């Protein structure tokens, strides 16, 4: 079982949105279903236990996807349990790198690295912006899905 974790700052906007969108794509792929587990977390503790932001939840509900979520924080144990951590931006990538021991099998990447047109780009935080910013984040996450699914199939082959 491959374990993937979507990571953002508070685990209420970008990472739960990425978790749900990635999970739906994986569940629709016969080569991956039942072989890949997706979850999410944040690098901050400021939203621990909260549900996802209403804009992220609305986007997912409109797509018929689950909006049940409680924010949690990345820690050493959770980081060690992952095969791949997909950080929303460089700040979260740096924070995660401090929790993953040197020589660990856990790979750290930016989520947008799986979009060939956005390698190295941050997934901007939509928090505090209008719904269009959440829509943009969802589109940017969805653009990563083909590349990420191809990578997961390669790893499981």
**Residue 9 to residue 66: CA distance in whole angstroms:** 21
- Using a 10 angstrom Cβ sphere, with 0-12 exposed, 13-18 middle and 19 or more buried, the burial of residue 148 is buried
pLDDT of residue 104 exceeding 90, the answer is no
**Residue 153 to residue 91: CA distance in whole angstroms:** 28
pTM: 0.96
Pairing of strands 107-110, 2-8: unpaired
**Residue 29 to residue 9: CA distance in whole angstroms:** 29
Per-domain residue ranges for the chain? Answer: 2-156
Supply the residues annotated as catalytic: 8, 14, 125
Please check whether residue 143 is in contact with residue 118, taking contact to mean a CB–CB distance below 8 angstroms. Answer: yes
Return the pLDDT at 102.
Answer: 81
Give the closest residue to 138 by CA, choosing from 52, 31, 73, 50: 52
Pairing of strands 84-87, 107-110: parallel
Stretch 40-55: mean pLDDT: 97
pLDDT of residue 101 exceeding 90, the answer is no
Please tell me the CATH superfamily of domain 2-156, with its number: Response regulator (3.40.50.2300)
**Residue 68 to residue 65: CA distance in whole angstroms:** 9
pLDDT digits (tens, 9 = 90+) for 62-88: 999 988 999 999 999 999 999 999 999
**Residue 116 to residue 71: CA distance in whole angstroms:** 30
Q: Is residue 26 very low, low, confident or very high in pLDDT (cuts 50, 70, 90)?
A: very high
Stretch 12-29: mean pLDDT: 98
């Amino acid at each position: 079982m491959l374990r993937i974790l979507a990571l953002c700052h508070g685990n209420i906007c970008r990472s739960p949105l990425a978790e749900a969108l990635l999970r739906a794509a994986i569940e629709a792929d016969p080569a991956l279903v039942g072989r890949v587990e997706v979850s999410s977390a944040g690098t901050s503790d400021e939203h621990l236990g909260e549900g996802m932001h209403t804009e992220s939840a609305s986007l997912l509900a409109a797509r018929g996807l689950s909006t049940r979520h409680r924010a949690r924080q990345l820690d050493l144990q959770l980081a060690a349990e992952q095969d791949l951590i997909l950080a929303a931006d460089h700040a979260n990538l740096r924070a995660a790198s401090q929790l993953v021991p040197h020589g660990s099998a856990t790979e750290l990447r930016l989520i947008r690295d799986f979009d060939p047109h956005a390698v190295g780009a941050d997934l901007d935080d939509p928090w505090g912006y209008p719904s269009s910013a959440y829509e943009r984040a969802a589109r940017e996450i969805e653009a990563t899905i083909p590349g990420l699914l191809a990578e997961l199939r390669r790893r499981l082959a």
